[in-house]
Structure 1
Amino acid sequence: MPLQPDSASDVIGVAAADAALHEQASALAQDLGLPWVETTAAAYSAGLQAVLWLGAEGVSLQAVSRRGHAPGPITVDFGGATMRHRRRGGQNELLGKAVGVGKKSALAVLDATAGLGRDSFVLADLGCSVTLAEREPVVLALLADGLERARRADDSWLNAVLGRMRLHRGEAATVPAVAFAGLDVIYLDPMFPERDKSAAVKKDMALFQALFADHNTTGDAVALFAWALQQDVARVVVKRPVRAVSLAGRQPSHAIVGKAVRYDVYVLRSLGPA
């Protein structure tokens, strides 16, 4: 039977689109330590803010509201129109330049804050071998589902990109040592960077801020940054809002600046010839 929240700190539940998925939803809820509810109405009554929704299209994160007017669900869809459009965007060139695409063949990158995997996917599409590290269990469930659905797709381009992506479930510091052999770049995108209060927040970031802000602090980002700089890599790249101060106050070797974001590049050694 559906579980109920154990405490007021429970803000996310798991629900399924139909009875055929109840067993899978219950197992996921148990795995994540989250309550299982039968409907979004039940989730609202239980005081939840969001549900991980299992449906025919995979796993999504849906905000809960009394009248059903919550923003559309957040899902990871690497083969969808949004990602296909993004691969043609100018920001990809900036990200590629920041990590050093073209300076060395078969560039190996650790995305230490993978999130929904969008930047990792772009880097893999640019030819990089990417290890994605994600520690937040709910975000990890979305990311793992998106990767699995993409791997099952009958799409040669998508399959080729996914072949260059490997998921690590947990902190970047717990990535097996073998993955660091030949690693060139560590990439960081702090989930909740400081921002101009007048700037609009995308729906996924707004929901993430509401749900996970207490789990991801500036201190976490600074500690991860300090760890990254101690690793045997050629460079560390940090994604920042374009007007934000540098992370931990440490000035980069150089920065690649776009309209909304910039990439602070900390060069530790040469990447070597392509």
Structure 2
Amino acid sequence: MSQPEATSEACTVVPATAGAWPIAQRIAGQLSCRVARHAEEVISPVALFVDHDDLWLQKRSSEQVSPVRVDFASPGLQHRRKSGQNELLGRAVGVKGDVRPSVLDATAGLGRDAYVLADLGCSVTLIERSPVLAFMLEQALERASISAIASVQLACSRMQLQPGDSRNYNTSKETVIYLDPMFTERRGSAAVKKDLSVLQALHGSLENEDEQLLAWAMSQPVRRVVVKRPLKSPALDLRKPSHTIKGKAVRFDVYAL
């Protein structure tokens, strides 16, 4: 199935400092994005700010001013390693005893759930159709490979990035497909909503995309499909799961194939 990829028109590359202008030009050319010398010139919904050793996303809207980064060594992600939700996610994909499934994260986004799964010992293939997010994931994985934190190096050695649309991908070595649709009714902190709004701006909107992703996933030769959902929302495409693992704010619908 051929599907349009996320548009690069949603993002403009901006140098964070004057000396980063050549870097911004190079990255904009690589991503087929607009480039602007100053943030005031940005007309797209999202700007990708780049510097010599840093890059982040920021919405043009005045209400959303905090940057969004992909950083597997960030304090927030390291703190999440101790979260009870990690255990729920691990159980959902089948982590048990010495079993560590090979997982295809078909909606990688900022890569946080993929990192958690890799930290639990799973090998994870990340698929991301937004060229901008795929580039940020690639850069984050490169930085993680030389991180001073040994656990970050180890987890990211289990992660492999595959840019493109999941629906064009045929699984081979993976035994579990993980889907985290960008449900608009997601509740949580302002940071969660900020991240979601940036992802939605970069991905655009395709009709029935989540249902198409689930149909694709169910057609693949894997042992199970796991879908992350809001706690009280109906099952995706009203397809009844084999079983459900519930947390405080989200649940994981498990489809055993």
- Whether these two folds match at TM > 0.5 is yes
**Backbone CA RMSD of aligned residues:** 2.3
1:214 has 2:182 as partner: no
Map 1:1-274 to 2 at 5 A. 10-43=9-42, 47-64=43-60, 70-102=64-96, 105-175=99-169, 180-181=172-173, 183-191=174-182, 193-195=183-185, 202-209=193-200, 211-212=201-202, 214-217=204-207, 219-268=208-257
Which residue of structure 1 lines up, in the alignment, with residue 5 of structure 2? none
Report the CA distance between 1:220 and its aligned residue: 1.2
Find the aligned partners of 1:123 and 1:158 in 2 and give their Cα distance.
12
Tell me the CA shift for residue 10 of structure 1. 4.0
SS of the residue 1:116 aligns to: coil
Three-state SS of the structure 1 residue aligned to 2:232 is coil
CA shift at 1:50, angstroms?
Answer: 2.4
SS in 2 for 1:25: helix
The code of the aligned residue for 1:60 comes to W
**Tell me, what secondary structure is at the counterpart of 1:240?**
strand
Give the whole-Å Cα distance in 1 for the aligned partners of 2:83 and 2:11. Answer: 34
For 1:75, what is the secondary structure of its paired residue? coil
Cα deviation digits, residues 194-215 of structure 1 (max 9, x gap): 4278996521112333x14633
The change in CA–CA distance for 1:214 and 1:235 in structure 2 (over 3 A counts) is same
Tell me, yes or no, if the aligned pair for 1:58 and 1:145 is still in contact at 8 Å: no
- Cα pair 1:95 1:263 within 8 Å, conserved: yes
Q: Which is further off, 14-23 or 161-170?
A: 14-23
Distance 1:131-1:264 versus aligned 2 partners, 3 A rule: same
Q: CA deviation at 1:149?
A: 1.5
| Equivalent residue pairs, number | 249
Give the Å deviation of 1:12: 2.2
Equivalent residue of 1:138, what SS?
Answer: helix
**1-structure distance, mates of 2:243, 2:61:** 45
Matched residue of 2:19: which SS? helix
Unmatched 5+ stretches in structure 2: 1-7
TM-score normalised to the size of structure 2?
Answer: 0.88
Structure having the higher Rg: 1
Q: For structure 1, list consecutive stretches of 5 or more residues without a partner in the other structure.
A: 1-8, 269-274
Q: Give the conservation status (yes or no) of the 8 Å contact 2:15–2:37.
A: yes
Partner of 1:5: none
Q: Which TM-score applies when normalising by structure 1?
A: 0.83
User: Does the residue aligned with 2:107 lie in a helix, a strand or coil?
Assistant: coil
Distance 1:213 1:134 in 2: 10
